[in-house]
Amino acid sequence: MSRFVYGSLLAPEVLNALLGRVPDRTPATLPGFVRRRIKDAVYPAIYPAEDPSSASVDGEVLTGMSRRELAVLDWFEDEAYVLTRVNVTFDEERELSPPETVEGTEPYLDPSIVMAYVFTSPKDLYGVWDYEEFRREHLGSYVAMCEAFAEDVEHNDLPGDDDEPEDGIGDEVK
């Protein structure tokens, strides 16, 4: 599965701190959602817009990740987010193609399935989140926090510890 990212995970430095590398990234837009600041946080949240016809969120789709890398990102996200399947549009004419699937299995690593972390408590959201402001004011300390997180989970038993990037079929997302 691919991940649509729209906030701190847009920063290559953050991805590198969490995963030890920067996965393939493709600019994309998520229609029908809004991105907002979260009270007492430096990262943003998205949630469905009241008027979906006039709302969208720009971001990127991350692909080429192993099950373990997906699990690290999933674990990194706050429990106030729900991993949700979304339909994105790409800035260029591009489709994510699925790997070969085995009949009767769930294609956990199917890159054409795009998931996003959707916030569950819009009452804590306000204003507009600004990526450049995040980079300018918070990136250094945020990367340090991500490096500490990655070190903490490095020796944890996570799904996909033995898998190769996007070439297998596996279990469903949490």
Which of the 8 DSSP states describes residue 75?
H
CB-CB contact of 38 with 14 (8 Å)? no
Burial of 96 (C-beta count, 10 Å sphere; 0-12/13-18/19+): middle
CB-CB contact of 94 with 63 (8 Å)? no
Exactly one of 13, 50, 77, 154 is catalytic; name it. 77
Q: Which residues pair with 84 in a beta bridge?
A: 116
106 in active site: no
Place of tokens 């991993």: 83
The catalytic site residues sit at 77
